[in-house]
Amino acid sequence: MRVTIFGTGYVGLVTGTCLADVGHDVICVDIDQAKVDGLNRGVIPIYEPGLEPMVKANHAAGRLRFTTDAEVAVAHGDVVFIAVGTPPDEDGSADLKYVLAVARTIGRHLERQVVVVNKSTVPVGTADKVRATIAAELASRGAEFGFEVASNPEFLKEGDAVNDCMRPDRIVIGASSATAVDKLKRLYAPFNRNHERIVVMDVRSAELTKYAANAMLATKISFMNEIANIAEKVGADVEMVRQGIGSDPRIGWHFIYPGAGYGGSCFPKDVQALAKTAQQYGYDAQLLGAVESVNDRQKEHLFELIGRHYGVASHDGALAGKTFAVWGLAFKPNTDDMREASSRRLLQLLWDAGAKVRAYDPEATEEAQRIFGERDDLVLCDSARATLADADALVVVTEWKQFRSPDFQRLSQSLADRVIFDGRNLYHPDEVEAAGLAYYGIGRGRSI
């Protein structure tokens, strides 16, 4: 099948590559000339395990092409995906300017019948807006082509995106005609071979499904962070509590890890956007508000623990002269994405308090360089060990596998203040303390 994808970000690039890998003829179109030029030279703009060789192989085979020429791209696809960003607007609602710009482009160039598929995460009712925008463009040039706008939200996880795309838990198709459903079923047939994964529904339900999924996951995280904060107050260890509840299949083991708060390009904006949609329809989504505020507070918790250890309360200059080794900058492991990452809040708080930072992340160094630029109070190191030079304390922010088993004796010798702040509960307090280090985790009551 001939497929066009607008947007070569995490979603567009991974989806396009996976569709090409199963034999479809894919054109990915982006407005970012440098990105497209890079992709045509085999430079992959994001870090995603397994993606690079797949892009190169499918590009070389001619099944995966990259362009900035929207006219060529629209002329190509029987199915045209919209996979551009939907960042939060000032009031928290999803900003649809990129999605609607693509809709205008499609309307401007459309010359035959297609199915337009919204893969971006968009509020309920967006398919109607996309349809109206395309129709208005067609009308303005006196053109008439049958087209349908379907919803096909994306559930891939950064860090495991290729796997999620090739072996999805489910493929949600929201469409109002049998023709569109049939086309999308044929498109996805290679991913739907051993058991039925396709769930067909109406467009609005599909749009809401994506928000419901992300809001549920964010809720689990905030719930567990709330329990962690209570555990800390009452002198309980949330890691014990986690093990005590996860075995209940009604609760399950996934997403009940306490930590330094959720980040990334999806949960924060999607929770906010869903609450905003509810508000626009006259409903006060109280739980969603709480999920967000618990997370916001949690992003400061590591800094609070640091303040507690050093006996300082105010931010201004309180940690002048201290240097913190920071392990992990990406919002989660196996990605270089730092959008809304907890590390960003922590670093800002440390800097506001006059501290210096020596940071390492296996993949996000370049992104950190881009975000923070040159600063006297930041050194981006090329290994975890290099962060320890002249450091007073260690803070672990992202749970990359390589941080799981450090040599605590060496850390004890390297860190002048002999203290670890473990924002992901990677370590056992006894083991850390046995090496002569003070240990602070999340929700580990013994650190009161």
CB burial string 339-375: b at 16+ within 10 A, e below:
bbbbbbbbbebbbebbbbbbbbbbbbbebbeeebeee
Residues 232, 298: contact at Cβ < 8 Å?
A: no
Question: Which tokens in the block code for residue 208?
Answer: 């809401």
User: CA-CA distance, 407 to 351, in Å (whole number)?
Assistant: 28
Q: Which of residues 344-373 bind ligand NAD (CB under 6 A)?
A: none
Please, what is the minimum distance in Å from the beta carbon of residue 9 to ligand NAD? 2
User: CA-CA distance, 214 to 274, in Å (whole number)?
Assistant: 10
Q: Which of residues 232-291 bind ligand NAD (CB under 6 A)?
A: 265-266
Q: Any contact of residue 120 with ligand NAD (CB under 6 A)?
A: yes
Candidate ranges 94-102, 107-115, 272-280, 302-310; the one touching ligand NAD (CB under 6 A): 94-102
**Nearer of residues 238 and 329 to ligand NAD, judged by Cβ:** 329
* Binding-residue total with ligand NAD (CB under 6 A): 26
Q: Which of residues 52-91 bind ligand NAD (CB under 6 A)?
A: 83-86
Q: Any contact of residue 95 with ligand NAD (CB under 6 A)?
A: no
Q: Any contact of residue 11 with ligand NAD (CB under 6 A)?
A: yes
Q: Any contact of residue 322 with ligand NAD (CB under 6 A)?
A: no
Phi, psi torsion values for 441, nearest 5 degrees: -115, -170
The alpha carbon of 404 is separated from its chain's Cα centroid by a whole number of angstroms, namely 22
Q: Any contact of residue 98 with ligand NAD (CB under 6 A)?
A: yes
SS3 of 6, please?
strand
394 DSSP assignment: E
Please, what is the minimum distance in Å from the beta carbon of residue 271 to ligand NAD? 12
Choose the catalytic residue: 18, 165, 266, 381.
266
Burial class for 28, CB neighbours closer than 10 Å (0-12, 13-18, 19+): buried
What are the CA-CA distances from residue 151 to residues 19, 113, 167, 274, 322 (Å)?
Answer: 17, 17, 19, 17, 51
Assess whether 266 carries a catalytic annotation. Answer: yes
**Nearer of residues 116 and 231 to ligand NAD, judged by Cβ:** 116
Q: Which of residues 137-156 bind ligand NAD (CB under 6 A)?
A: 154, 156
CB burial string 132-150: b at 16+ within 10 A, e below:
ebbeebbeeeeeeeebbbb
Q: Choose among 283, 302, 163: nearest CA to 228.
A: 302
Q: Any contact of residue 334 with ligand NAD (CB under 6 A)?
A: no
Please, what is the minimum distance in Å from the beta carbon of residue 97 to ligand NAD? 9
Query: Pairing state of beta strands 79-82 and 2-6?
Result: parallel
Candidate ranges 1-9, 192-200, 245-253, 395-403; the one touching ligand NAD (CB under 6 A): 1-9
Please, what is the minimum distance in Å from the beta carbon of residue 444 to ligand NAD? 30
Candidate ranges 26-34, 141-149, 178-186, 423-431; the one touching ligand NAD (CB under 6 A): 26-34
In which element (H, E) is residue 64 found? strand 64-67
Q: Any contact of residue 35 with ligand NAD (CB under 6 A)?
A: yes
**Nearer of residues 22 and 31 to ligand NAD, judged by Cβ:** 31
Q: Any contact of residue 29 with ligand NAD (CB under 6 A)?
A: yes
Q: Which residues bind ligand NAD (CB under 6 A)?
A: 6-12, 29-32, 35, 83-86, 98, 101-102, 120-121, 154, 156, 158, 265-266
Which sequence positions are flagged as catalytic?
Answer: 266
